[in-house]
Structure 1
Amino acid sequence: MRCVLGLDIGTTSTIGVLIRPPDQTLALASRPVALRSDHVGWAEEDPEQWWANVAEIVRELMRSSGASPADIAAVGVTGMLPAMVLLDAAGRLLRPSIQQSDARCGAEVAELRAEIDENAFLAKAGNGINQQLVAAKLRWIERHEPKVFARISTVFGSYDYVNWRLTAERAVEQNWALEAGFIDLKTHGIDDALVAFAHIPRAALPRKVVSHEILGVVSDRGAAESGLEPGTPVIGGAADHNASALGAGVVGAGDVLLKFGGSVDILTATDHATPDSRLFLDYHLKPGLFVPNGCMSTGGSALNWFARQFASGEAEAAKKAGLTIHQWLDRLADARPAGSDGLVVTPYFLGEKTPIHDSNARATFDGLTLSHDIGHLWRAMLEAYAYAIAHHVEVMNEIGYRTERFIVSDGGSASRVWMQIVADVLQQPLQRLAGHPGSCVGAAWTAAIGSGLVSDWSAISAFVRPADRIEPRPETPETYRRGYRRYREIYRSLAGRGAS
C-alpha cells in the first residue's frame, strides 16, 4: 500500500493528509497553532509547536488509516510564505518565527526603498519592496535584537524548518526564496547581491531546492521524533497557496482561486512573469508556469479574534442551536441586510499586504451606530474581505490578468453566508469544491510527483470535485458598489495619499 503524506504548517492549524494515488484519501488530522501578537502589528509562532503537531498528526494518521510508516513513499510539506525562522550554529531556535503577516518592519522597508532603485529591484527579483521581504525583517532583528542577529547561522521558512527537522538537511524552497526577495528571475538562482541587502552572511541562506525535488530523506532522529520511517524521501515543499491552487485546478489564464484560511489569498496562473509591485509573484508547482497572487495579512485569523473577543455572549445561544460560534454568527449576519446598514470595515488588523503594502494601515469600523448589533458587525467583517478581494481583482485586471472562473477553497469557503457575500460583491459565480482538504493535498501530490509515484500533475483533480455553485444575487450590486467605494475611500483618507 504505497501512499504519500502531505503536511500543512498553517497560520491557525497544522494539518496532515495521507493519500493513495490515484484517488484515495486515507486519513486527515489537524492540531491547532497559537498565533501571538504581543505588540501592534506583530505576528509570531513557535516552530516547536509545529514540530510537536507533526509528530502527533503522523501517529494519528497511522492509527486511523491502518497504514504503517513503511507504506509512505514520500513526504511533502507546505506552509505560510515567507515566515522566517532563525537558527544558531548549533541548530537552536533563536526566537519565535516572524510570520508572513507580521508588520513590524515598516521603517526597514522605507530604508530599503531609500537605498535601492525600486523599479530595478522589481524587475530583477519579481516582487516589490514591501514588508514581505525577509531582508526587511532581518534588518529589524539587526536593529532591535542585535544579540540574536549576531548568532544567526540559518535563515529559512516554516516548511523548510519542518523539512530540516525531518531530514537534518538545510534548504530553502524556491517560492520562499522568491517571495523573500533573494531570487533573480532571469537566472532563477539565489543572487548574492539580493542576499546582501539582508546584512547576513551568504552562508546563512541554505541552498535552494525546487518544490518537487527530493531534498533528503527522513533521518534516524527525525524518524524517532516524528514516527516516520528512516530513509523516507522528503521533497522541497510548497507555499500553501500554491499547493491549494494546484489542488483546485488553477492551471490556466482566467482561473482564479480564492483561498479562505488564516489569511485570504487570491491566485491565478500564467505562462509568463509580469512583475507588479502591488502583487506577489511565485512559481507554480507545475514547472513552466507562474502564480501572480495577492495575500491579505488576515482573514480567518481576524474572524477568530473577533469571535473570541466579542461573541462570548452568544456562546450559549449557539450551543442550544447546535452550531459553532462561527455558524451562529453567520446566521445572525444572514438576517442583516447587504451593506450592514451602512457599517463598513477595513480589515487591516495587522497592517495590510497586497495590494496596498502598508504596514501602518489599521482596521476601522466606519458608520457604527447604536442601532447596529453583533450580526451587523460580523456581516461587515465578512463584507470587508469581499471588498478586499474585489480590490485585488481590479488590480489583476489592470495588469492584464484575466479573472473569469472563480474557485473557492479552505476553511472559510464552508461558510455559505460569506461565500454569498463574495459572489454578490464580485457579481461572479463562485465554484465551491468537495473533498479539498486544503494545501496539504497539494503538498502530498507534489511529493507523489517528486518520488516518481505518479507523473501527471493534473491527475490531482481526482481528489477534488466540484460542489455547489454560488450565484450572485441580482438585487445587491448597487449596494455593494457603494460599499466598495466607501471601503477604498476610508483607506485613502486615513493614509493621506492617492489611490493605491
Structure 2
Amino acid sequence: MVQAVFGFDVGTSSSKGVLASLDGEILAVAQRPHDVQRPRAGHVEMDANVWWRELCDVLAELRQSQPDVEIVAIGVSGMGPCVALADAAGVPVRPAILYGVDTRAMKQVERLTDELGGEDAILQRGGSVLSSQAAGPKFAWVKENEPEVYVQASRFFMPASFLVWNLTGSYTLDHQSASQCTPLYDTEALTWYEPWVQKIAPSIELPELFWAGDVIGTVTSDAAAQTGLPEGIPVVAGTIDAWSEALSVDAHNVGDLMLMYGTTMFFVNTVESVVRSKEMWGTVGALAKTRNVAGGMATSGAITGWLRELFGGADYGELVQEAARSGLGARGLVMLPYFAGERTPILDADARGLIVGLTIDHTRGDLYRAALEATAMGVRHNIEAIEAVGGQIDRIVAVGGGTQGDVWTQIVSDVTGRPQVIPTHTIGAAFGMAWLAACAIKPIEAKDWNPPVRTLEPNPENHERYSKLYELYRSLYPATREQMHTLAAFQQEL
C-alpha cells in the first residue's frame, strides 16, 4: 500500500480533492462543480451541507481510482470568511453567508463602526476596518433581519471548520480565519475579543482556536461510516483557501506575494510585523508567528465565466485565442471589473462594472480581452496599495486555475511590470492542505513539496503602453462613482 494524504478545498464555483504521496507526487485529483445562490442583489449564499456531500463524493472517487493507497492524514480548506450558523448539534439553520462578495450587511458595517468607536478603534484591534469582507456584521445582519433563525443558532462554521466538525466532532477554527471575523478577534492578543463578541453575537459559542496544520482530532466512527475511511486517521486544522494556496506554492515567507487566479483574485503578502490598513486587510498568517497584508477583488474569473455564458457557452480555449488576437488594449476598450462591487482597495460594495469605448465593430474576443486586462489593472491597483501601507513584495508566486496557459498571466505581468514565479503544481488550496496533512506525518519543506519551474517576465514595451491605459482605468471609478451608487440603489429596490 502507498501512503498518501488527502487534501480538500471548497471553492466558490467547485470543490476539489487531491491525493498526494508524502513526497508531494499528485496521485489523483477530483472535482465537483457547484453554484452559489443569489436570492437578491448583494446576497450570496450556499448550503453548507453541500460541502460535506462533495467531500464524501470526491473522496469516494479518489479512493476508487487509487485502490492501493492508504490515506494517513487529512487536511481541508475553503472559501472565507463565511458565516454558516448552526445549532448545538452542528446542523445549519440557514444557508451560509459568503465572504466579501456578499454585501448585505453594509448598514451593519456603518452602525457597528460608529458604536465601536470608529474605524481607528476597530483597526487598532482587528487590523482592518469593517467592510463586506468582515464576518462580524453578518452575524448582526442575521440577528436583526432573521431573529427567528438567529435564536436557533448557537455555533458558526466556515467551510473548513464545518468539514473538520463532520470528520472529527471537534468544534474549532484556525487563527487566520478568526482574524477575518472582524471585529470579533483581537489580532494582538490572538484570541476572541469578548466585549465585542458579547455586543454582536452574544448567544454564539465561538470555536476553540488552533493554527492551520495543528492536529485537532481523528476520523470518528460516524465519519468513517459516511466516508468509507478507517476510523482514527488524523485531521489537521484547515484555513481559508487563499492562505492554503499560498502554502501550496511556498509563498508564505517574508516578502512573498501569493497571487491567486480564480473566480475572484486574491493577494496574500507575508510581512515581518503587524500592518494595519484602511484599504487592505491586516491579518495573522496561516502558520504561527506569521503576519500578512491581504486583499481580494470581488470578481476576476467570475467575469470571464459570465461572458462565456453570454456568448452561449462558448469554449474557453476559443475565447482565450480570440482575446490573444484582439491584442493589447482590446482594440480600445477599458473595463472596470466591479461587477459584484469591489473589495480591496476601494472597499465599495456599491461599485459597478463599466465598459468604456464600445463600438459595433468590437467582437467577443475584444470583450474577453478587456476582462482579462481589467483584472490585471485591478491586480496592479492592489499591489500598489499593499506597498503603500508597508507591505514588502520581493517575489510574486502565481497559483490557481487561471495560470493555465500564458495569455492571462502574461497580461498581468505586462500590466504590473512584475515577474511571476510559476510553480510545478498550481492546482491550489487542496494541494496546500495536502502538504499540511503530510507535515503531520513527517517534516517536509514547502519548497521541496512544490518547487518552481519557471519565471514569467514582463514585456517592457507592453508595460509602458499599459501604464497609459492604467491611468485611464484609475480615473474612471472616481469619475463615475456617484452614478454607480445611484444604479446600485435602484438595483437593490428591484
TM-score of the pair, normalised by structure 1: 0.91
**Aligned pair partner of 1:366 in 349, 353, 356:** 356
Within-5 A mapping of 1:330-479? 330-449=320-439, 451=440, 453-456=441-444, 459-479=445-465
Check if 1:92 corresponds to 2:91. yes
Instruction: Please name the residue that 2:487 is paired with.
Output: none
State the AA in 1 paired with 2:192: I
Q: How far did 1:404 drift? A: 3.0
Instruction: Please name the residue that 1:266 is paired with.
Output: 267
Q: Deviations over 1:462-486 (max 9, x none)?
A: 3323234322223323432222222
Instruction: Please name the residue that 1:78 is paired with.
Output: 77
Contact 1:14 1:53 in 2 (8 A): yes
**Alpha-carbon distance change, 97 to 402 in structure 1, aligned in 2, over 3 angstroms:** same
Q: Deviations over 1:287-323 (max 9, x none)?
A: 3221211111222223212211x111x73xxxxxxxx
**Alpha-carbon distance change, 285 to 90 in structure 1, aligned in 2, over 3 angstroms:** closer
Q: How far did 1:237 drift? A: 0.8
**CA–CA distance in 2 between the matches of 1:330 and 1:49?**
31
Gaps of 5+ in 2: 484-494
State the AA in 1 paired with 2:280: L
Q: Deviations over 1:129-163 (max 9, x none)?
A: 11122221122212222211121111121111111
Gaps of 5+ in 1: 316-324
Contact 1:435 1:463 in 2 (8 A): no
Q: Deviations over 1:203-256 (max 9, x none)?
A: 2x2222221222222112211112222221211112211111122122333322
How many equivalent pairs are there? 479
Which deviates more, 401-410 or 330-339?
A: 401-410
**CA–CA distance in 2 between the matches of 1:358 and 1:122?**
18
Which deviates more, 85-94 or 183-192?
A: 85-94
Divergent runs of 4+, >4 A: none
Which deviates more, 224-233 or 11-20?
A: 224-233
Instruction: Please name the residue that 2:477 is paired with.
Output: 491
**Alpha-carbon distance change, 370 to 197 in structure 1, aligned in 2, over 3 angstroms:** farther
Contact 1:209 1:236 in 2 (8 A): yes
Q: How far did 1:282 drift? A: 3.1
Task: Classify the secondary structure of the residue corresponding to 2:461.
Answer: coil
Contact 1:258 1:264 in 2 (8 A): yes
**CA–CA distance in 1 between the matches of 2:201 and 2:77?**
27
Q: How far did 1:421 drift? A: 0.8
**CA–CA distance in 1 between the matches of 2:188 and 2:420?**
36
Instruction: Please name the residue that 1:320 is paired with.
Output: none
Which deviates more, 347-356 or 376-385?
A: 347-356
**CA–CA distance in 1 between the matches of 2:356 and 2:115?**
37
Which deviates more, 279-288 or 231-240?
A: 279-288
Instruction: Please name the residue that 1:249 is paired with.
Output: 250
Contact 1:355 1:392 in 2 (8 A): yes
Instruction: Please name the residue that 1:318 is paired with.
Output: none
Contact 1:135 1:197 in 2 (8 A): no
Which deviates more, 94-103 or 472-481?
A: 472-481
State the AA in 2 paired with 1:218: V
Instruction: Please name the residue that 1:151 is paired with.
Output: 152
**CA–CA distance in 2 between the matches of 1:427 and 1:349?**
25
**CA–CA distance in 2 between the matches of 1:133 and 1:474?**
38
Q: How far did 1:283 drift? A: 2.9
Which deviates more, 4-13 or 86-95?
A: 86-95
Q: How far did 1:90 drift? A: 4.0
Which deviates more, 154-163 or 426-435?
A: 426-435
Q: How far did 1:22 drift? A: 2.3
Contact 2:403 2:426 in 1 (8 A): no
Instruction: Please name the residue that 1:127 is paired with.
Output: 128
**CA–CA distance in 2 between the matches of 1:88 and 1:343?**
50
**CA–CA distance in 2 between the matches of 1:67 and 1:109?**
52
State the AA in 2 paired with 1:490: L
Q: How far did 1:387 drift? A: 0.6
Contact 1:436 1:463 in 2 (8 A): no
**CA–CA distance in 1 between the matches of 2:218 and 2:27?**
23
Which deviates more, 33-42 or 332-341?
A: 33-42
Instruction: Please name the residue that 2:311 is paired with.
Output: 311
**CA–CA distance in 1 between the matches of 2:235 and 2:296?**
27
Within-5 A mapping of 1:204-353? 205-308=206-309, 310-312=310-312, 315=314, 325-353=315-343
Within-5 A mapping of 1:175-194? 175-181=176-182, 182-194=184-196
Task: Classify the secondary structure of the residue corresponding to 1:119.
Answer: helix
Q: How far did 1:186 drift? A: 2.1
TM-score of the pair, normalised by structure 2: 0.92
Which deviates more, 388-397 or 488-497?
A: 488-497
Q: How far did 1:55 drift? A: 0.6
Task: Classify the secondary structure of the residue corresponding to 1:335.
Answer: helix
Instruction: Please name the residue that 2:35 is paired with.
Output: 34
**Alpha-carbon distance change, 90 to 243 in structure 1, aligned in 2, over 3 angstroms:** closer
